[in-house]
């Protein structure tokens, strides 16, 4: 394990004041701890050895470069911080260091004459979406945490989020270029200013989906996408198995892939619909949202999806033309996680299981039995289930009683990621939403082998010789067997 020198927080604070404005660096204990927590705080207390020295908020790539150059010269870990919503442990630090919060990196320039938009990583995704929509453009990034997630983290993880890859693709498909600060402090420009993306070696691809291992993204150039017309639908089933078969049919029968195709199991649907003042559905359901260049094209796609889905005998399958009805139904899906936490009077633990098309039914069964044989998960019963089933992704969710001791809560998270890895390895898949390392590092090693893992480490060392950038993400020591 890498050993980092110890410094006094006061000394690091004074040095940071020479780089950024005084109001942009904090030594407040509250700020330092708050910027070192993730959504699973309940399962892992922060120790005094893990409290950062300072939180710094650079306002430009040049300031980021000076912070990185300083940290590299003194071998101080730097943790890049957006909104801290990462669910696989990337926002959870295990060393003292400098938190580089990107909240001041918020330039935004919609350049219609060039056909692209440029923005900083510190924006909430929703803000960029709303600004683009004002000008008639669509943001091809659709996380469930759109109101709180920072856009830099989305780009760094190359996450599809809710979207179906075969409809929308990945963020990488839209990024034309980046501004990146290396761990040593140099500033790179990658990609092109043309809508004709470069062939051959493009350093952009090392950083989009790079898990924050190789550099700090300080600027993104993304091509503009005109807004689409929309159409919506819903299908309710008696059971999850025919529902999964209906999703398989969409692929096998070459139906047009929707933008979203979301699953709520019966318990989740009934809780969420009731809170929204909607009649609780009698069984599990799928919600689908199709897009097209015209209203007719979008409606055709939903009608075709309904036609295919009906072959698996749902109790109901229909297009929804009432926009107010759709908004209520969609909010029931969007708010499913807090709603089941409220109903279960606890805190959540969820994972990301990905299937193949052919194995969707078997994978669903494995997900529903996820807690069996696990000493702590089994106490919590069958998981609540929702997810992006059109993208072949399940989010089995366990609600943990708030009065459980911290050690038991930590076991829930550990067992959950163990089972996630086991099921994904069984079907030859990997997460398409959260990133590949941190808590998932043992799975990456098991799934792709020691040499692949070593290649990633060697690449990390090339860009970051002192291993100062986000050292919490990629373990530098040998991993225990999964």
- The pLDDT confidence band at residue 382, using thresholds 50, 70 and 90, is very high
Is 377 part of any domain? yes
Residue 363 CA to residue 361 CA, distance in Å, equals 5
Cα Rg, the chain, nearest whole Å: 23
Query: Does residue 477 have a pLDDT over 60?
Result: no
Total of domains in the chain: 4
Pair 149, 83: CB distance under 8 Å: yes
Is 213 part of any domain? yes
Query: What is the CATH number for 216?
Result: 3.30.465.10
Q: What number is the average pLDDT over the span 466-481?
A: 76
What are the E-state strand segments in 157-294? 175-181, 187-191, 216-223, 225-226, 229-236, 260-264, 285-292
Query: Does residue 482 have a pLDDT over 60?
Result: no
Closest CA to 240 of 348, 102, 387: 387
Task: Supply the pLDDT for residue 145.
Answer: 79
Task: Supply the pLDDT for residue 3.
Answer: 84
Q: Are both 166 and 78 inside the same structural domain?
A: no
| Residues 274-313: tens digit of each pLDDT | 999 999 999 999 999 999 999 999 999 999 999 999 999 9
Is 466 part of any domain? no
Q: Please indicate, yes or no, whether the overall pTM of this predicted structure exceeds 0.95.
A: no
Collapsing DSSP to helix, strand or coil, 442 comes out as: helix
Query: What is the CATH number for 22?
Result: 3.30.43.10
Q: Are both 100 and 114 inside the same structural domain?
A: no
Query: What is the CATH number for 237?
Result: 3.30.70.3450
Phi/psi for 423 (5° steps) reads -70, -45
Task: Supply the pLDDT for residue 1.
Answer: 62
Q: Are both 126 and 165 inside the same structural domain?
A: yes
Pair 361, 244: CB distance under 8 Å: yes
Is 252 part of any domain? yes
Task: Supply the pLDDT for residue 85.
Answer: 76
| Residues 108-149: tens digit of each pLDDT | 999 999 999 999 999 999 999 999 999 999 999 988 778 888
Query: Does residue 352 have a pLDDT over 80?
Result: yes
Residue 198 CA to residue 218 CA, distance in Å, equals 21
Residue 234 or 435, more confident? 234
Is 375 part of any domain? yes
% of the chain exceeding 90 in pLDDT: 82
Closest CA to 211 of 482, 475, 480: 475
Which residues, other chains included, contact 144 with Cβ-Cβ below 8 Å and sequence gap of 6+? Answer: 161, 162, 334, 337
Task: Supply the pLDDT for residue 476.
Answer: 66
Ranking 280-284, 384-388, 410-414 by mean pLDDT, the lowest is 410-414
Final residue before a domain boundary, out of 163, 191, 226: 226
Task: Supply the pLDDT for residue 36.
Answer: 85
The domain of 142 spans 108-226
Task: Supply the pLDDT for residue 480.
Answer: 44
């Amino acid at each position: 394990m890498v050993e980092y020198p110890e410094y006094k927080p006061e000394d690091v604070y004074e040095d940071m004041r020479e780089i950024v404005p005084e109001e942009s660096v904090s030594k407040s204990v509250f700020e330092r701890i708050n910027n070192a927590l993730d959504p699973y705080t309940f399962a892992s207390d922060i120790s005094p050895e893990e409290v950062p020295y300072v939180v710094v908020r650079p306002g430009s790539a040049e300031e980021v470069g000076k912070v990185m150059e300083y940290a590299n010269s003194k071998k101080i870990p730097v943790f890049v911080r957006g909104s801290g919503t990462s669910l696989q442990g990337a926002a959870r630090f295990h060393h003292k260091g400098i938190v580089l919060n990107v909240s001041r990196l918020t330039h935004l320039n919609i350049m219609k004459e060039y056909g692209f938009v440029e923005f900083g990583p510190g924006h909430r995704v929703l803000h960029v979406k709303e600004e683009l929509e004002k000008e008639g453009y669509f943001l091809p990034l659709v996380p469930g945490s759109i109101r709180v997630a920072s856009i830099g983290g989305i780009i760094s993880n190359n996450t599809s989020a809710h979207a179906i890859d075969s409809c929308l693709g990945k963020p990488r498909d839209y990024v034309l270029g980046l501004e990146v600060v290396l761990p040593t402090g140099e500033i790179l420009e990658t990609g092109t200013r043309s809508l004709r993306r470069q062939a051959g070696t493009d350093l952009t691809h090392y950083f989009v989906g790079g898990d924050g291992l190789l550099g700090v993204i300080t600027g993104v150039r993304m091509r503009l996408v005109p807004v689409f017309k929309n159409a919506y639908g819903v299908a309710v089933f008696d059971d999850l198995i025919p529902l999964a078969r209906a999703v398989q049919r969409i692929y096998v029968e070459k139906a047009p892939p929707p933008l979203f195709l979301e699953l709520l199991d019966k318990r989740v649907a009934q809780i969420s619909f009731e809170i929204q003042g909607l009649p609780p559905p009698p069984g599990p359901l799928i919600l689908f949202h199709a897009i097209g260049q015209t209203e007719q094209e979008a409606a055709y796609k939903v009608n075709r999806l309904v036609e295919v889905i009906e072959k698996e005998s749902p109790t109901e399958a229909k297009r929804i033309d009432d926009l107010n009805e759709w908004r209520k139904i969609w909010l029931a899906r969007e708010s499913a996680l807090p709603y089941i936490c409220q109903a279960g009077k606890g805190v959540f633990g969820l994972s990301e299981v990905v299937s193949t098309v052919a194995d969707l039914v078997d994978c669903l069964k494995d997900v529903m039995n996820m807690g069996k044989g696990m000493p702590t998960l089994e106490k919590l019963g069958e998981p609540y289930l929702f997810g992006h089933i059109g993208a072949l992704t399940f989010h089995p969710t366990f609600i943990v009683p708030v009065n459980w001791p911290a050690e038991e809560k930590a076991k829930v998270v550990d067992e959950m990621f163990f089972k996630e890895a086991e099921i994904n390895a069984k079907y030859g898949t990997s997460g398409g939403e959260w990133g590949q390392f941190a808590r998932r590092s043992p799975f990456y090693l098991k799934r792709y082998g020691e040499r692949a893992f070593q290649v990633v480490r060697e690449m990390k060392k090339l860009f970051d010789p002192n291993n100062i950038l986000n050292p919490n993400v990629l373990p530098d020591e040998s991993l225990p067997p999964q």
